[in-house]
């Protein structure tokens, strides 16, 4: 007879290796800090914050969806820039979240800011992101593109 030790009974969970290793996280993994692959929101947070971040990510599925939709529209490559129309309409009442002229010219800057906005809203980033100005270092293209993939896939 095995003795029940109390606490949660561990069930084997079928884990998609492309998914973030934080339990229940809806995002794809893109960063390995040495403790397994995680998404950009969990990778830099201490484990005591993981559950709260996961819960917030689930409450912000609308923003995750928006970023994914914008990425898909951008990837279609239309000269009409439907991603820009969508972003402007979505944030109609939030002018500070609409793409700046610089972000219109460089999609990756806007993608970076939307991801940072998500990080901020779920508690994985303390400071609300501002549009990157020319004097600031901007995210490498590869990083932004990779980060987008974890949301769209």
**Binding of residue 132 to Zn ion (CB under 5 A):** no
Give the residue with the Cβ less far from Zn ion, 39 or 63.
Answer: 39
**Binding of residue 28 to Zn ion (CB under 5 A):** no
- The Cα 66–Cα 151 span in angstroms is 10
* Contact criterion met (CB below 8 Å) for 111 and 148: yes
DSSP symbol at 45: S
Give the residue with the Cβ less far from Zn ion, 38 or 108.
Answer: 38
Give the residue with the Cβ less far from Zn ion, 42 or 113.
Answer: 42
Give the residue with the Cβ less far from Zn ion, 25 or 73.
Answer: 25
Work out the burial of residue 113: count CB atoms within 10 Å of its CB; fewer than 13 is exposed, 13-18 middle, 19 or more buried. buried
* Contact criterion met (CB below 8 Å) for 99 and 88: yes
| Interaction pattern, residues 33-52, with Zn ion; x per rule: CB under 5 A | ------x--x----------
Which of 30-33's residues contact partners 24+ apart within 8 Å by CB, and which partners?
A: 30/146, 30/147, 30/149, 30/150
**Binding of residue 151 to Zn ion (CB under 5 A):** no
Q: Tell me how far, at minimum, the Cβ of 51 lies from Zn ion, in Å.
A: 11
Taking alpha carbons only, the member of 46, 21, 23 closest to residue 32 is 21
Q: Tell me how far, at minimum, the Cβ of 73 lies from Zn ion, in Å.
A: 24
**Binding of residue 64 to Zn ion (CB under 5 A):** no
Q: Tell me how far, at minimum, the Cβ of 13 lies from Zn ion, in Å.
A: 15
* Residue numbers at the binding site for Zn ion (CB under 5 A): 20, 22, 25, 27, 39, 42
């Amino acid at each position: 007879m095995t003795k029940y030790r109390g606490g949660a009974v561990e069930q084997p969970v079928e884990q998609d290796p492309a998914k973030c290793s934080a339990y229940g996280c809806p995002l794809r993994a893109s960063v390995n800090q040495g403790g397994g692959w995680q998404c950009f929101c969990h990778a830099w947070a201490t484990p005591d914050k993981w559950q709260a971040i996961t819960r917030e990510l689930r409450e912000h599925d609308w923003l995750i969806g928006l970023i994914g939709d914008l990425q898909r529209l951008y990837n279609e490559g239309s000269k009409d820039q439907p991603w820009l129309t969508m972003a402007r309409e979505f944030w109609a009442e939030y002018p500070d979240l609409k793409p700046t002229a610089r972000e219109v010219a460089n999609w990756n800057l806007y993608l970076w800011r939307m991801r940072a906005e998500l990080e901020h809203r779920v508690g994985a980033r303390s400071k609300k992101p501002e549009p990157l100005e020319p004097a600031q270092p901007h995210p490498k293209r590869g990083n932004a593109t990779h980060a987008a993939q974890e949301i769209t896939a």
